[in-house]
Amino acid sequence: MSDASNRERTEPVVHTHVAVDRMKVMINGASSVVTRLLNVFVLVFIFKYLLGRISPEEFAIYPIMMSTMVVAPFFFVFFTGGVSRYVVAAYAVDDRQKVTEIVTSITPLLVLTALAFVAGGLTLAAFAGPILAIPDAQLGMARTMLSLLVLSYALQMIALPFGVGFQVRQRFVEWNILGLMRDALRIVILFALLASQGPAVIWVVVATVSADMVHLTVVTIRSRMMAPDLRVSASSFQWTTARTLVSFGLWTTLGRLAQVFYISAGTLVLGRYGTAVDVVNYYFATALFQQINGLLTYARLPLQPSLVAMHTLADRERLRRTALRGATYGLWAALLVALPVAIMSDDIATIVLGPAHTEAATVLSLLMAIFLFSQPAGLLPMLAVATGEVRAFNLAALMSTIASFLAMIVAVLGFGTGAVGVATSLFVVTALAQIVYFWPMQLRVTGMTSGDFARSILRGMIPATGAAVVLAGAAAYGTPDLTTLIAAVAVGGIVYAIILLLFCLDTADRALVQRIRERILPQLRRTQAA
């Protein structure tokens, strides 16, 4: 038996080179969520400002260009999907030469891919008129915008391996602060250009690319200061390492495809076989679903280096405990938002969309119910990366997405159920896939027992039971306006928090809450004193 296996059974594992700390992960996760929310507000502000000053035809060029760039990650994910994972794993065992070998082996492939990507992107820009249906009046602007975006993205992908130092050292707060500084710089540049050159949508791209290049330079320098072994050395190139990274990236690409198609499949089906009302109902519900799911994903991201370190050092017990807490915490966080949205869906749909979109409430409730089944295994995508199980996970995810797509077609064409049928198909296939495949997979890769897993799920659902009674009462009474709706949701949230704090926390949770209080309260007192 290996030393790692012996250590797993007989002694605690010491994480010397990649820290594993719940407090640090939670702070990093919170900073990631705040950054994401601020990014959304910045984007909305920019859009609102420009739409009041330029024509819709000119503004439409920007979303067309950004939609075109959605395919860009698929050119590189074959090579970048495993870089962070394998670099963190190498640092976890203090194999600095392996780090340099990884960076050296993947960088030439990234450069060659970037050159091909730039050639294809510039060709598309040259023929943007007929291919993207750009009017002649905006054609020159569109070509410049697309060319800048293509060149910027290519440079970011080439530099990606050199920026992994933030993941290795888990400096996500600094990473997010640099991201906020980039957004602030983008706004400054944008308004400087608008003030000096006049309103034009091209300045959004110019400002974005300029800020991205400054950010890329700073991030790369800081990352290499944290991890000097992130460098290229001709003698360290290994084809076997490159093949390993590409193989890992192949299955990561399948996962990306499944993720993109998971929600958009319903829109495609309804756009082809449904009505305009069906499309609006489904799009509205999926927009809320994706925002909640996106926030949960961002909150978990800082945990990835720790999971890789746990697996690399064969720290199975800590991996098991982390996955169990992940199931509980995921349900707590998701149901805090999804529960009121589901129960108050009738009032939400009526207030936001109007009385003509009553079916949106049913669609919304069905999509919110998905969190009950997805969150117990919410850490599984990251566990699959950490344990090298990306093939088993992403292939199953793709097959599940295809199954839901076929079920959607049957529901709409065979039964004429519209948006409700599409949402039902997505819910049923997701629930079955989680229970039959993904939950057992999480048990297998972490070593947790089914009893422990069931208890973590039940603990995660307890706060929702009491809050559901309050919210159901409010829904039965009726919330005819936005103010009443917000008040009802706030009361439900308070009940949810009280039940969670009084009845759901174990000893470790209470210790973590105490650590948070000890860190935050002195800062609040100093702020009040100032």
* Domain identity same for 305 and 231: no
* CA-angle at 151, arms to 58 and 103, nearest 5°: 145
Q: What residues have CB less than 8 Å from 141, skipping those under 6 apart?
A: 58, 61, 200, 201, 202
Domain annotation covers residue 319: yes
Q: What is the 3-state secondary structure (H, E, C) of 449-494?
A: CHHHHHHHHHHHHHHHHHHHHHHHHHHHHCCCCHHHHHHHHHHHHH
Q: 197-241: per-residue pLDDT in tens? A: 988 889 989 999 999 999 999 999 999 999 999 999 999 999 999
pLDDT < 50 stretches in the chain = 1-10, 14-20
* pLDDT at position 7: 40
Please report, for residues 73, 130, 358, the alpha-carbon distance to residue 127 in angstroms, rounded to integers and kept in the order given.
Answer: 21, 6, 44
* pLDDT at position 17: 45
Looking at 260, 292, 327, the residue that finishes a domain is 260
Domain annotation covers residue 479: yes
Q: Helix or strand or coil: residue 228?
A: coil
Domain annotation covers residue 13: no
Q: Write out the residue range of the structural domain in which residue 464 sits.
A: 274-517
Measured distance CA(466)–CA(501) in Å, rounded:
13
Number of domains in the chain: 2
* pLDDT at position 524: 59
Q: Helix or strand or coil: residue 93?
A: coil
Measured distance CA(290)–CA(258) in Å, rounded:
14
Q: 155-198: per-residue pLDDT in tens? A: 999 999 999 998 888 887 788 889 888 888 988 898 899 889 98
Q: 97-121: per-residue pLDDT in tens? A: 999 999 999 999 999 999 999 999 9
Is residue 445 a contact partner of residue 387, using CB atoms and an 8 Å limit? Answer: yes
Please report, for residues 34, 152, 204, the alpha-carbon distance to residue 187 in angstroms, rounded to integers and kept in the order given.
Answer: 18, 18, 9
Q: String of b and e for 492-514 (b: at least 16 CB within 10 Å)?
A: bbebbeebbeeeeeeeebeebee
* pLDDT at position 228: 93
* pLDDT at position 25: 60
* pLDDT at position 476: 85
Looking at 227, 260, 293, the residue that finishes a domain is 260
Please report, for residues 88, 271, 371, 435, 441, the alpha-carbon distance to residue 402 in angstroms, rounded to integers and kept in the order given.
Answer: 33, 18, 20, 17, 20
Please report, for residues 36, 37, 184, 308, the alpha-carbon distance to residue 42 in angstroms, rounded to integers and kept in the order given.
Answer: 10, 9, 9, 33
Domain annotation covers residue 528: no
Domain annotation covers residue 39: yes
Determine whether 261 is exposed, middle or buried from the number of CB atoms within 10 Å of its CB (0-12, 13-18, 19+).
middle
* Domain identity same for 164 and 307: no
* Domain identity same for 83 and 121: yes
* Domain identity same for 292 and 199: no
* Domain identity same for 216 and 283: no
Domain annotation covers residue 317: yes
Using N-to-C axis directions, what is the helix angle for 482-499 and 450-477, rounded to 10°? 150
Domain annotation covers residue 339: yes
Domain annotation covers residue 16: no
Q: Which H or E element spans position 68?
A: helix 61-68
* pLDDT at position 169: 85
* Domain identity same for 113 and 212: yes
* Domain identity same for 216 and 248: yes
* Domain identity same for 95 and 138: yes
* pLDDT at position 357: 80
Looking at 260, 283, 317, the residue that finishes a domain is 260
* Domain identity same for 245 and 120: yes
* pLDDT at position 526: 66
